[in-house]
Amino acid sequence: MSATTLYEKLGGEESIGKVVDYFYDHVLADETVNHFFANTDMDKQRKHQTKFISFALGGPNHYTGNSMAKVHTGMNLQPIHFDAIVKHLHDALEHFGVNEADINQALNTVATLRNDILYK
């Protein structure tokens, strides 16, 4: 019997898409970070982020975007911005009934990207 990935535990890409929608609703309401998305096609961003998070959580590799470092170049993201995004992801996962251990696993995956995102 193979181990269940977090992607599978969360219900696959469709369920992750719902988490991403909820997540972005809160990100866009947060003045700490919403300005980073002022000129972003949010439908495209939500679809892209769903693919990325699905892959990051052990799902199929349908992510075809640039590296995190490249995507965030010129944004000069600071720890306060990264932490706000992590908080919104935590809250979105919690809202959809994900247990704290699985949330921590997901956030640990996100934390590995910190150095590729900050200060670019």
Is 54 a member of any domain? yes
Amino acid 65: pLDDT = 78
Q: What is the CATH number of the domain that holds 108?
A: 1.10.490.10
Which of 103, 112, 116, 92 shows the shortest CA–CA distance to 15?
92
Is 1 a member of any domain? no
Q: What total of structural domains would you count in the chain?
A: 1
Is 103 a member of any domain? yes
Is 12 a member of any domain? yes
Amino acid 1: pLDDT = 47
What sections of 41-78 are H helices per DSSP? 42-56, 68-72
Amino acid 82: pLDDT = 97
Amino acid 61: pLDDT = 76
Which of 19, 21, 28 shows the shortest CA–CA distance to 96?
19
Phi, psi for residue 27 in degrees, rounded to 5: -60, -45
Low-confidence ranges of the chain (pLDDT < 70): 1-3
- Domain span holding position 100: 7-117
Q: Is the entire prediction scored with pTM above 0.75?
A: yes
Is 2 a member of any domain? no
Amino acid 63: pLDDT = 76
